[in-house]
A and B are shown apart, each in its own frame.
Chain A
Amino acid sequence: MTNREKLQDLLQDILLLDPSEFRFDLARDEVETWDSMSVVAIAVGVDETFGYHMSPDEAMRVAGVRDIIGILEEKGISFAE
Chain B
Amino acid sequence: MTRFKTLREGDTAGGTHVLEASWSGAATFFFVPDKGVNSQWLDQSAGLITAGFSENCFGLLTSGSTGEPRLILGSKQRTEKLVRVLHELQDSEPVEETVCALPLSYSYAFVNQWVWAHVFGRGLRLTAGFAEPDKLKAALEQARGAMLCLVGSQVALIRRYFPDAVFPGVIRLHFAGGRFPQEQLGFLREHFPNAQIFNNYGCAEAMPRLTLRRAEDAPEASRIGFPLPGVEMKSGADRKLLFRSPYRAVAYVDDEGFHPVADEDWIPTGDLGEQMPDGSWRLLGRANEVFKRFGEKISLPTLLTTVKGAWAGDAACYREVDAQGDEGYVLVLSPEPTGQQLRDVLMAFRKHHARPHWPLRIESLELMPLLPNGKPDVRSLQSATERQLHWRQRI
Closest A residue to B393 by beta carbon equals A41
Does A58 have its Cβ within 8 Å of any Cβ on chain B? no
A37 and B347 within 8 A (CB):
no
* Bound CA span A27–B395, Å: 21
Query: Is A33's beta carbon under 8 Å from chain B?
Result: yes
Number of interface residues of B (CB under 8 A): 14
Question: Contacts A18-B343, A37-B355 hold; do A44 and B350 have CB atoms under 8 A apart?
Answer: no
Q: Are A16 and B350 in contact (CB under 8 A)?
A: yes
Flag whether B17 is at the interface (Cβ < 8 A).
no
Cα distance A18–B346 in the bound complex, in angstroms: 10
Is B395 a contact partner of A44 (Cβ separation < 8 A)? yes
**B391 interfacial contact with A, CB 8 Å:** yes
**Chain B: which residue is nearest A13 at the CB level?**
B391
Say yes or no: is B35 at the interface (Cβ < 8 Å to chain A).
no
CA gap between A63 and B356 in the complex, in Å:
22
A73 interface residue (CB < 8 Å to B): no
A78 within 8 A of partner (CB) = no
CB <8 Å contact, A45 and B394: yes
Residue with the greatest number of chain A CB neighbours at <10 A, chosen from B350, B355, B358: B355
Query: CA–CA, A42 to B394, complex, Å?
Result: 8
**Contact of B394 with A41 in the complex, beta carbons under 8 Å:** yes
A40 touches B349 (CB 8 A): no
Which residue of A has the minimal Cβ distance to B351?
A16
Q: How far is the CB of A68 from chain B (nearest CB, A)?
A: 14
* Closest B residue to A10 using CB positions: B394
Give the distance in Å from the alpha carbon of A38 to the alpha carbon of B294 in the complex: 14
Q: Is the CB of A40 within 8 A of B395?
A: yes
Q: Which of A16, A18, A37, A44 contacts B349 (CB 8 A)?
A: A16
- B346 neighbours in A (Cβ, 8 Å): 16
Task: State the main secondary structure of chain A at its contact with B.
Answer: helix
Give residues of chain B (104-137) contacting chain A, Cβ–Cβ below 8 Å.
none
Instruction: Report whether A16 and B395 are in contact in the complex, using a CB–CB cutoff of 8 Å.
Output: no
Contacts of B356 in A (CB 8 A): 37
Contacts of B349 in A (CB 8 A): 16
Known: A16-B349, A41-B395, A45-B394. A33 touches B343 (CB 8 A): no
Q: Which residues of A contact B347 (CB under 8 A)?
A: 16, 18
In angstroms, Cα B394 to Cα A16, docked, is: 13
Is the beta-carbon distance between B350 and A33 smaller than 8 angstroms? yes
**Which B331-367 residues have C-beta < 8 A from chain A?**
343, 346-347, 349-350, 354-356, 358
In whole Å, how far is A36's beta carbon from the nearest beta carbon of chain B? 9
The answer to whether B350 touches A14 (Cβ under 8 A) is no
Proximity bits, A29-62, B CB within 8 Å = 1, else 0: 0000101011011101100100000000000000
A38 close to B355 (CB less than 8 A): yes
Contact B350 A37 (CB under 8 A): no
Residues of B within 8 A of A33 (CB): 350, 355
Which of A13, A37, A48 is the one whose CB lies under 8 Å from B395? Answer: A37
Contacts of B391 in A (CB 8 A): 13
Q: Using a CB–CB distance below 8 Å, which chain B residues touch chain A?
A: 294, 343, 346-347, 349-350, 354-356, 358, 391, 393-395
Hey, which bits of chain A sit against chain B, CB under 8 A? 13-14, 16, 18, 33, 35, 37-38, 40-42, 44-45, 48
**Between-chain CB contacts (< 8 Å), 10 pairs:** A14-B393, A16-B349, A18-B343, A18-B347, A35-B354, A37-B355, A37-B356, A41-B395, A44-B395, A48-B394
The 5 closest A-B pairs by CB, nearest first: A16-B350, A44-B394, A41-B394, A45-B394, A16-B346
Q: With A13-B391, A40-B394 given, can you name 5 additional A-B contacts, CB distance below 8 Å?
A: A33-B355, A37-B395, A40-B395, A41-B393, A41-B395
